[in-house]
Amino acid sequence: MTPSTVRGDDGKRRCSWCIADPLYVQYHDHEWGRPVRDERAIFEKICLEGFQAGLSWLTILKKRETFREAFKGFEPEVVARFTTRDVNRLMNNAAIVRNQKKIESTINNARATLRLAESGESLANVFWSAQRTKPKASPRSLAQVPALTPESAALSKTLLKHGFTFVGPTTLYAAMQSLGVVNDHVASCHRVR
């Protein structure tokens, strides 16, 4: 059985899922679970989590800078103007995940983000509305970390209603974990807040 935390060379205990690669350790220590409320960053994370479906997060993490370049910094206003020509350009970019439906979903989600703003709402507010009013205790083991929650299912329904795609409850729960809406660092991890 895999332990829930592992002590690194620096003496710090970390969630064991991150120890496979130094890039993963860096992501775990400096990003995963830290609250993010920036609209662009939330849009980027939702899109990258959509690209991750069926793959490992480490695969996406290793390609993240190329994704940012290919999708013009994930600025919703810019991505919303992408055309079929951009879809073709992205489908020919071997440095990203070349999945036409996921590429088109990113463009669609940029447009949905702008429609939210036009209606007086923000993606950040909608996303953070999934936060529990009373935070749950840190999991004692990785086995206690769910793949989805009622909150992520409700957020999925809300975003689908607003026209977003590739935003299933499992995808959104991964984004909620990453962006600090929930804190799923195992209790013995040095990053528990």
Each residue's pLDDT expressed in tens, for the chain with a length of 193 residues: 678 999 988 999 999 999 989 999 999 999 999 999 999 999 999 999 999 999 999 999 999 999 999 999 999 999 999 999 999 999 999 999 999 999 999 999 999 999 999 999 999 999 999 998 777 888 888 999 999 999 999 999 999 999 999 999 999 999 999 999 999 999 999 998 7
Task: Spell out the residues 6+ positions from residue 8 whose beta carbon is closer than 8 angstroms to its own.
Answer: 14, 19, 25
CATH architecture of 16-178: Orthogonal Bundle (1.10)
Whether residue 193 contacts residue 186, with contact meaning beta carbons closer than 8 Å, is answered with: no
Annotated catalytic residue 17: no
DSSP state of 94: T
Q: Which of 17, 32, 57, 128 is catalytic?
A: 57
Largest CA distance in the chain: 50
- How far is the C-alpha of 97 from the C-alpha of 101, rounded, in Å? 11
Based on the residue annotation, tell me whether 151 is a catalytic residue of this protein: no
Q: How far apart are CA 86 and CA 89, in angstroms?
A: 5
Q: Give yes or no: 49 in active site.
A: yes
- Domain assignments of the chain as residue spans, ordered by start: 16-178
- Among the listed residues 39, 49, 128, 173, the single catalytic one is 49
